Amino acid sequence: MNSILGLTELILEKANLEDKNRERLEVVLNSGKRLMNLINDILDLRKLKPARWKIRYEDVILDEVIEEVSASVTPLVNKKNIDSRL
């Protein structure tokens, strides 16, 4: 996973890409980072004993979450010609 993320970042930095291809690589990079965080969280959870779990509330910027989800889903929606208007 680290290789995929590293190479994707390198291509984004060094390559002269069309806007559409740059957007696609940014989706790959962002999705890969989310997946890496999820894997790390799962590995961390395996180390904890359930009796010691505590709920931690955190503030999130909802606009950023929606933007990330939209960036991940938009290419799939466009590929399938789905009307994505709200």
- Model confidence over 32-62: pLDDT tens digits? 998 999 999 888 877 777 777 778 898 989 9
Span 9-25, average pLDDT: 91
Q: DSSP assignment, residue 81?
A: T
Q: Supply the pTM of this predicted model.
A: 0.59
Determine, yes or no, domain membership for 85: no
Return the structure tokens found at 13.
């930095």
Q: Are 32 and 8 in contact (CB under 8 A)?
A: yes
* Helix (H/G/I), strand (E/B), else coil: 79: helix
Domain count, the chain: 1
Within a domain: 6: yes
Q: Is residue 29 part of a domain?
A: yes
Residue 84, domain member (yes or no): no
Residue 24 sits in which domain range? 2-79
Question: What is the secondary structure of 2-69 as a DSSP string?
Answer: HHHHHHHHHHHHHS---HHHHHHHHHHHHHHHHHHHHHHHHHHHHHS-GGG---------HHHHHHHH
Residue at 54 is within a domain: yes
